[in-house]
Amino acid sequence: MTISAATAWRLDASALVEAYRQGASDPVTIVDLCLARIARIDPSLNAFVCLSPTARDEAAASAARWRSGAPIGPLDGVPIAVKDNLVVKGMPATFGSRLYAGTVAARDELPIRRLREAGAIVIGKTNTPEFAVEGYTSNDLFGVTRNPWAPALTPGGSSGGSVAAVAAGLVPVAIGTDGGGSTRRPAAYTGLVGLKPGIGHVPRADGLPQVLLDFEVVGTFTRSARDAALLDSVLSGPDRADPASRCPSDAPAADRPLRILSVERIDANPCDLEIVTALHAAADAFAALGHQVTRSELPFDSAGLAAIWSSIAEIGLGRLLAVEPDFADKVNPKYVAMARRGAERSASDLLAIVETVAALRRQVSEGFADFDLILMPSCAAMPWAADTPFPDRIDGHTVGPRGHAVYTGLGQCRRASG
């Protein structure tokens, strides 16, 4: 039975691979469908910033492999979108900035190589705010990206282009990065499964500068948990190019009911009622499944990370200011100002940040001695206007630029297997 175009765009990657295996569809048909939907729908969303010139040829090669019964990997022929701060051979990697506009990458960075080796077809690059340091998605080079469910609203950031592409059915799966919530919040805003793995779980090498130190990792966006597991099986695992990936991962949880800590709020930071209600429903669902759910506060102090987070980004941009001669002329003035503040920081300031992070990571590790999972909101605010950097009010309270993101920074503090 052949899968029709009317239904094929709804399939997840796992179903597509099964359709290829059964001869119900083929990679050329699916890539053509994706390109047609991008041409028709994306002008109103602005998820993609460029498309691959070789996607259809790659699809034809994949289709030939399937016909001969010799797929090269578990993603053979699956179209995938890649955030524009990741390096893909033969395509731009602009980081959402005019600083890198016009350059074409001569190599794939490590996660992209793994995807290609598994047979995935990179169909295009997706929009991100400049240097991926914002919680919405817009930049001077490509403009505003919009939420497929409500185009007046943001899909979040900084992986907004990737989530918009998957949520709109333009591709079945996508990858992005997460430094302080850039997979988890956008996934929440578009109804997707967003996985932000632990540091070192997905090795990285040969990419653009990592402005957020080791906080930034490669994450995935899918429509199903099984696709998240499928992509993780391809992307994860040690590589000598990334020493962090060669550390032993945490042992899997015992085959028993999980010990879950449900945390409604951090330090009384405001959170929209709809999100808190959803958190309670999730905790109730876990309890109904037989897991042990404790409702309490975090067993560690998160205020130290919140106090230094902006400085981390500023120091990272300060490094780019020092090594990129055109930075001040080509970068948005907001980020130039951030970079100049970062450049004024001392070595002592940076060491103090490193010490604060190390201390918090120790506290988090100790906190997980008593719990297998900590359940918290991914976002503090529901989606806001697409062209606005952040909401200035949450649940009736005035908040600053990171008010919507207070819950996701802590996801960086535990090195885990995912």
Among candidate residues 25, 52, 83, 159, the one labeled active-site is 83
Q: Where are the alpha helices (DSSP H) in 71-183?
A: 110-117, 160-167
158 in catalytic set: yes
Residue 151 host element (H or E): none
162 in catalytic set: no
Among candidate residues 182, 236, 302, 311, the one labeled active-site is 182
Burial class (CB in 10 A: 0-12, 13-18, 19+), 289: exposed
Maximal CA-CA distance, the chain: 66
Burial class (CB in 10 A: 0-12, 13-18, 19+), 374: middle
Using the structure block, give the residue that is written with the tokens 């899997």: 252
Q: Where are the alpha helices (DSSP H) in 72-154?
A: 110-117
Measured CA angle at 197 (ends 193, 198), to 5 deg: 155
Residue 191 — left, alpha, or beta (φ > 0 → left; ψ -120 to 50 → alpha)? left
334 in catalytic set: no
Among candidate residues 25, 52, 138, 158, the one labeled active-site is 158
Q: Which two tokens stand for residue 315?
A: 């120091």
Distance CA 126, CA 91 (A): 12
Distance CA 145, CA 157 (A): 9
Please identify every residue annotated as catalytic.
83, 158, 182
